[in-house]
Amino acid sequence: MTQSPDEARFARLEARVEAAATAATAAATDAAAARYLAAAHDRDIADLGVKVNACRAAIDGLGERTRARFDEMDRRFERVDARFDRVDARFERLEVKVDAGFAVMDAKFAEYDQGFAAMRHGFDQTAAGFARIEQLLTARDDDR
């Protein structure tokens, strides 16, 4: 059986329509898959945004706690610095007293040195007097 040219043409047209329908079905399937993937992508992006916001909030909270701790540490160091300033002032007053005490001691030692020098001079004069007496006694004994 031979087909008429119209039948052959009609068969080719049916094949093309069937191919177009298959392509349309494939396109619709692809479009549905694309919509599904896009929706999944949107959910993933939204989940990522939630996670990023949670991380940002945690980091901000950590920063606030850290800043509060550093502020407290600064206050404590200020108190320690104030105490050291008071201790330094006390040591400076003590140093002034010690220096004054050493000045008094130095003055007293100078007085003692002068006293010892005067005593030494007196002893030297006494020794010279005894030496002169000895000379006189020796000279008198020699004359006799």
Asked, for residue 19, whether it belongs to a domain, the answer is: yes
If one compares 29 and 74, the residue with the highest pLDDT of the two is 74
The domain tally of the chain equals 1
Average pLDDT, the chain: 88
CB 22 within 8 A of CB 14: no
- Give 68-104 pLDDT, tens digit per residue: 999 999 999 999 999 999 999 999 999 999 999 999 9
132: pLDDT strictly greater than 90:
yes
Asked, for residue 94, whether it belongs to a domain, the answer is: yes
Asked, for residue 1, whether it belongs to a domain, the answer is: no
The residues, ordered by sequence, that sit 6+ positions from 11 with a Cβ below 8 Å of its Cβ are 3
Range of the domain at 97: 7-116
Burial code (b: 16+ CB inside 10 Å, e: under 16) for 86-116 equals eeeeeeeeeeeeeeeeeeeeeeeeeeeeeee
Asked, for residue 58, whether it belongs to a domain, the answer is: yes
Asked, for residue 108, whether it belongs to a domain, the answer is: yes
Asked, for residue 141, whether it belongs to a domain, the answer is: no
Output the pLDDT for position 144. Answer: 67
Asked, for residue 134, whether it belongs to a domain, the answer is: no
Asked, for residue 144, whether it belongs to a domain, the answer is: no
Burial code (b: 16+ CB inside 10 Å, e: under 16) for 31-59 equals eeeeeeeeeeeeeeeeeeeeeeeeeeeee
For 29, left (φ over 0), alpha (ψ -120 to 50), or beta?
alpha
User: What φ, ψ does residue 123 adopt, rounded to 5°?
Assistant: -65, -40
pTM, two decimal places: 0.43
- Give 48-74 pLDDT, tens digit per residue: 888 889 999 999 999 999 999 999 999
